Amino acid sequence: MVDLSLDFLGMKLKNPVMPAAGPPVKDAEAARRAAEGGAGALVTKTISREAAQVPRPNMAEIRGGFLNTELWSEMGPEHWLTKEYPAIAELGLPVIVGLGYSAEAIRELAEKVAPYADALELSTHYLGDDPTPVVESIRAAKAGAELPVLVKLSPQIDIPAFTRAAEEAGADGLVLINSFGPTLDFDVEDGRPLMGSEKGYGWLSGPAIFPLALRSVYEAVTSVDIPVIGVGGISRGIDAVKMLMIGAQAVQVCTAPILKGPEFYGKLVEEIKEFMAEQGYSTLEEIRGLALEEMPGESQFATIPPEVIEENCTTCMLCIKSCVYDAIELDESEDYVVIDTEKCAGCGLCVTRCNFAALNLKRPGGK
């Protein structure tokens, strides 16, 4: 029996999956769908002092990812306070209220939203080299409400430096990462940018940024002692598992439920459960941080040819086609591929391309 429940900053979550602040939680009705879809907690779309003026068009699916020019909520704080937050508070899940963007606004809003929140998530957006705005925002939130405070950070910063500054300022947790950018794409038929912003720039999310998010979470987890929520590019259960195994306490998703609907939350939960059951794990604590034990302390240069798992090979030829070293060939008499160890450079590409677990790269000291 797999148990995905957890205690996160005093909040009891039935599972570690929650929406990220954005369109999937744009109002109480969207939050209700997320709750019914299987989310373990709710994060509301970020609000600021004024309603946002969002360029149109502002969302587009692209190859391997997703572009957006979304800002904070298009509804002002008074509307949220009188209509959306009260309805969300009745849904029966822990609620993390998103706030931005200046310290002054956060101080003012934190006090007002406190009756409806179990925690606050501060969106600091895209910063330079100075963590001062993060520190000031944390202190402002702490002054405004006696609630756990999380800070969401973008990947274009010195993550160890910013996370340590956030921890020292009193942050109770971190959320990484925000979308990446600015980026650009356009329609080749008329040359118009896909985004309606001034320069046509947008921000990248979706599967393309998952490795970036994973690296960012790893740097945060190994830099501070406060808990981290992993977000960015999670589109399947194994992605969420990787976030947990690199040390995240929970995960947030935004692009996937936009594209696949609110039932994605429950699907993600089930895929996490299936993986854990297959591997013999019963609680999140058993997998959290497991990958940290395998992270190398230095670069590896030894050439290690992959091992062929003969019974798994279907002779699909994909590894042969993609071997730039011409080191793989088909043993037609045995119906499996063989590795020429003299030619093999140990690049590992064939292992990642094999769909049938027929190739295994054994690393020094690893499995």
Strand-strand pairing, 59-62 and 65-68: antiparallel
Do residues 327 and 241 both lie within one domain?
no
Are residue 266 and residue 313 in the same domain, yes or no? Answer: no
What pLDDT does 288 receive?
98
Of 272, 294, 316, which residue sits at a domain end? 294
Q: Are strands 336-339 and 328-331 parallel, antiparallel or unpaired?
A: antiparallel
CA 189 and chain centroid, separation: 33
Residue 365 maps to a domain: no
Residues 113 and 213 in one domain: yes
Query: Which pLDDT belongs to residue 364?
Result: 56
State whether 161 and 226 are in the same domain.
yes
* Per-residue pLDDT tens digits for 277-295: 999 999 999 999 999 988 8
Q: Write out the H or E segment, with its range, that includes residue 213.
A: helix 210-221
**Inside any domain, residue 301:** no
pLDDT band at 32 (very low <50, low <70, confident <90, very high): very high
DSSP for 238-279 reads HHHHHHHHTT-SEEEESHHHHHH-TTHHHHHHHHHHHHHHHH
Of the residues 269, 294, 319, which one is the last residue of a structural domain?
294
Q: What is the pLDDT of residue 128?
A: 77
Q: In the prediction, which pLDDT does 366 show?
A: 47
Parallel, antiparallel, or unpaired: how do β-strands 95-99 and 42-43 relate? Answer: parallel
Residue 327, domain member (yes or no): yes
Contacts of 279 (CB under 8 A, 6+ apart): none
| For residues 42-66, average pLDDT | 96
Query: What CATH number should be reported for the domain holding residue 140?
Result: 3.20.20.70
Other Cβ atoms within 10 Å of 249 Cβ, number? 23
Q: What is the pLDDT of residues 56-102, one digit of tens each?
A: 999 999 999 999 999 999 999 999 999 999 999 999 999 999 999 99
Would you state the pLDDT for residue 367?
44
Do residue 264 and residue 347 come from a single domain? no
Is 300 part of a structural domain of the chain? Answer: no
Quick one: 118 and 31 in the same domain?
Answer: yes
CATH of the domain at 347: 3.30.70.20
The C-alpha atoms of residue 190 and residue 131 are separated, in whole angstroms, by: 41
Nearest one of 246, 205, 252, 255 to 229, comparing CA atoms: 252
Residue 96 and residue 132 share a domain? yes
Its domain, for residue 240, covers 6-294
Same domain, 284 and 315: no
Q: Is residue 143 a part of any domain in this protein?
A: yes
Domain end: 266, 294, 322, which one? 294
Is 264 among the domain residues?
yes
Whether pLDDT at 308 is above 50? yes
142 in the same domain as 208: yes
**What does pLDDT average to over the chain?**
95
- 189 and 330 share one domain: no
The reply to whether 121 and 94 lie within a common domain is: yes
Residues 124-163 pLDDT 10s: 765 678 999 999 999 999 999 999 999 999 999 999 999 9
Task: Kindly report, residue by residue over 156-214, the tens digit of the pLDDT.
Answer: 999 999 999 999 999 999 999 999 999 999 999 999 999 999 999 999 999 999 999 99
Question: What are the structure tokens assigned to 243, written together?
Answer: 């976030």
Tell me whether residue 1 is in a domain: no
Q: Cα separation of 34 and 16, whole Å?
A: 13
Q: Do 163 and 66 belong to one domain?
A: yes
Q: In the chain, how many domains are there?
A: 2
Residue 367 lies in a domain: no
